Structure 1
Amino acid sequence: MIELSGLTKQYGQVRAVDDLTFNVEPGVVTGFLGPNGAGKSTTMRMILGLDKPTSGTATINGEAYRKMRNPMNKVGALLDAKATHPNRSARAHLQWMAQASGIDKHRVDEVLALVGLTDVANKKAGGFSLGMGQRLGLAGAMLGDPEILLLDEPVNGLDPEGIRWVRSLLKSLADEGRTILVSSHLLSEMALTADHLVVIGRGKLVADTSVHEFIKQHSTVTTVVRTDHFEEFKSALTAEGISFNQALDADGRPTLEIPERPSDEIGALAYSTGVMLSELAERQASLEEAFLQTTEDDVQYHGTGHQKGAAE
């Protein structure tokens, strides 16, 4: 388990991390989300002892990372996939890490196979693509077969097959009871990968909840209705003071979209008025929509959009 208590980091007049308190539990994939500049990377660096907190604590199984003996056997981390010597081969890079941490050299070939780099193990890391560099970084994080993983943007640069592979890997590791904290700006991927979310904005905790509850709490439900008795049901809605929007579905058929009203309420109204519905469905907002709604006031940089006639 990773435990943060009142974790704070001040850089001059800027408070990058502001009194963060949360736990990362074993057995689930915890997504770590926030806008650019929210303090995610700084938080991870403090967990790993790379930055010293101004105040508060970050512990791993009750112990500070800096006080651990043989930490790579307990904690694996990927913060910067480019942190490799460009003239070393992938195998040499991992062998150097293994030797420095007292890890059996046979583990090197195991993790190379795990991440799919066996065929390029003797190539220089400096010639690797971004995706291959990410795979090498993941191999380094898994080298000590750790029970705890901290991964910062692990799917950056990966192709769809690679992203799917990372998703499967993280879920299987969580199923083994390991503790996994992973940050990503790919919210659609986090919706498929993470079980739990920790969301921060401007260094402060915004949410600490399951993916399902986060979407439920920070987005609205829209009920979609299709019927052959269109005008009759519109009149019923109007009589009840229920607002609606008219739209067309993918096949060009007219539908009614009823915001902030659950489907059971709308279905009950249709039943009471004798209107037969050919479709009754709820449309839930995506994780991206919920995230943007929750953090819109915490975005550090806002674009103004394109203005017609402006210089380009």
Structure 2
Amino acid sequence: MIEVSGLTKHYGAVRAVEDLSFSVQPGIVTGFLGPNGAGKSTTMRMILGLDQPTAGSALIDGKKYSELKNPLREVGALLDAKALHPARSARNHLKWIAQSNGIPTSRVDEVLGLVGLADVAKKRAGGFSLGMGQRLGLAMALLGDPHTLILDEPVNGLDPEGIRWVRDFLKALAAEGRSILVSSHLLSEMAMTADHLVVIGRGQLVADTPTYDFVKNNSHTSVVVRTGHLAEFQKVLQEEQISFEMETDAEQRPVLVISDSTTDHIGALAYSTGVMLYELSERRASLEDAFLQMTGHAVQYHAAVPAASNQEGN
């Protein structure tokens, strides 16, 4: 279990992290989200003792990282997959780490097999692609078979098969009772991976909640209706003072999109007024929608979308 309490880090006048508190429970995957510059990497570095906090504490099973007797056997971390000697082979890189931490060499081949690098174990790590480097970083994090994992962008550079493998692997590790903190900019992937979310903005806590609740409470859900009696049902909605918008679906058929309502309510309304519906469905907002809604104020750099240029006559 990871416990962060009042964690604060100032670099001169810059407040990278400010009075941040949250916990990472065993048995679930906790996603760590925030815009660029929000303080995620700084927070992870403080948990691992790489940066000293200005105030507050970060404990792993009740101890500071520096107090752990065998840290690699208790905590596995991936912060920078490029932090390796490029001339060493993947196997020798892990073997050196294993020997310096009292981990059996047999574990090296085991984790290389787990991350899919067994066939390239003797190749120089400096020649690895970004995705292969990420897999080697994951192998290093798993080397001591730790009960706590802290991973910063572990799917960066992986192909779809690799991303799915990481997702399933993290869920399997959590199911064994391990504590897992993972950051990612791939919000759609976090929606499928993380059971719980810790969201920060400008170094401060924005949300600490189950993923489902974060999406539900910070974004709108709409009801989509398609009917052969469009004008009639529009009138019904207007009489009930229910707001709606007209859209077209993927097959260019007109549909009504109703906000702040439920399929139960709209279905009952259609039944009571004798309007036949061909479609009655719920359109749920994504984690990305909820994330942008919740953290838009905390984005460090805003970029405008360029207007479409007039190409006539060109």
Q: Show the counterpart of 2:198.
A: 198
Cα distance, 1:260 vs. partner?
Answer: 1.7
Between the aligned partners of 1:159 and 1:103, the Cα distance in structure 2 is 30
Q: Show the counterpart of 2:81.
A: 81
Cα distance, 1:306 vs. partner?
Answer: 1.8
Q: The residue matched to 1:278 in structure 2 has which SS? A: strand
Q: Show the counterpart of 1:211.
A: 211
Instruction: Give the partner amino acid of 1:33.
Output: L
Instruction: Give the partner amino acid of 1:143.
Output: L
Q: Show the counterpart of 1:53.
A: 53
Q: Show the counterpart of 1:72.
A: 72
Q: Is 1:183 matched with 2:186?
A: no
Q: Show the counterpart of 1:282.
A: 282
Q: Show the counterpart of 1:27.
A: 27
Between the aligned partners of 1:265 and 1:206, the Cα distance in structure 2 is 32
- Which segment drifts farther, 5-14 or 246-255? 246-255
Cα distance, 1:22 vs. partner?
Answer: 0.6
Q: Show the counterpart of 2:312.
A: none
- Residues 148-297 of structure 1 mapped to structure 2, 5 A cutoff: 148-297=148-297
Cα distance, 1:281 vs. partner?
Answer: 1.1
Q: How far does the alpha carbon of each residue in 1:47-94 deviate from its partner, in whole angstroms, 9 at most, with x for none?
A: 000000000000000000001111000000000000000111101100
Q: Is 1:298 matched with 2:307?
A: no
Between the aligned partners of 2:308 and 2:194, the Cα distance in structure 1 is 41
Cα distance, 1:105 vs. partner?
Answer: 0.8
Cα distance, 1:144 vs. partner?
Answer: 0.1
Between the aligned partners of 2:164 and 2:240, the Cα distance in structure 1 is 47
Q: Is 1:107 matched with 2:107?
A: yes
Q: Is 1:142 matched with 2:147?
A: no
- Residues 89-104 of structure 1 mapped to structure 2, 5 A cutoff: 89-104=89-104
Between the aligned partners of 1:139 and 1:182, the Cα distance in structure 2 is 15
Instruction: Give the partner amino acid of 2:295.
Output: T
Cα distance, 1:308 vs. partner?
Answer: 6.5
Cα distance, 1:307 vs. partner?
Answer: 5.0
Between the aligned partners of 2:302 and 2:255, the Cα distance in structure 1 is 35
Cα distance, 1:136 vs. partner?
Answer: 0.3
Between the aligned partners of 1:164 and 1:255, the Cα distance in structure 2 is 34
- Which segment drifts farther, 272-281 or 24-33? 272-281
Change (3 A) 1:308 1:221: closer
Cα distance, 1:252 vs. partner?
Answer: 2.1
Q: The residue matched to 2:277 in structure 1 has which SS? A: coil
Instruction: Give the partner amino acid of 1:67.
Output: E
Q: The residue matched to 2:9 in structure 1 has which SS? A: strand
Between the aligned partners of 1:8 and 1:153, the Cα distance in structure 2 is 22
Q: Show the counterpart of 2:127.
A: 127
Cα distance, 1:301 vs. partner?
Answer: 0.4
Between the aligned partners of 1:270 and 1:160, the Cα distance in structure 2 is 42
Between the aligned partners of 1:204 and 1:272, the Cα distance in structure 2 is 49
Cα distance, 1:96 vs. partner?
Answer: 0.7
Instruction: Give the partner amino acid of 1:23.
Output: S
Cα distance, 1:263 vs. partner?
Answer: 1.6
Q: The residue matched to 1:110 in structure 2 has which SS? A: helix
Normalised by the length of structure 2, the TM-score is 0.97
Between the aligned partners of 1:299 and 1:253, the Cα distance in structure 2 is 37
- Which segment drifts farther, 1-10 or 250-259? 250-259
How many residues in Structure 1 have an aligned counterpart in Structure 2?
309
Aligned structure 1 segments of 4 or more residues deviating by more than 4 angstroms: none
Instruction: Give the partner amino acid of 2:261.
Output: R
Between the aligned partners of 1:252 and 1:54, the Cα distance in structure 2 is 57
Cα distance, 1:265 vs. partner?
Answer: 1.8
Instruction: Give the partner amino acid of 1:76.
Output: G
Q: How far does the alpha carbon of each residue in 1:104-150 deviate from its partner, in whole angstroms, 9 at most, with x for none?
A: 11110000111111111111111000000000000000000000000
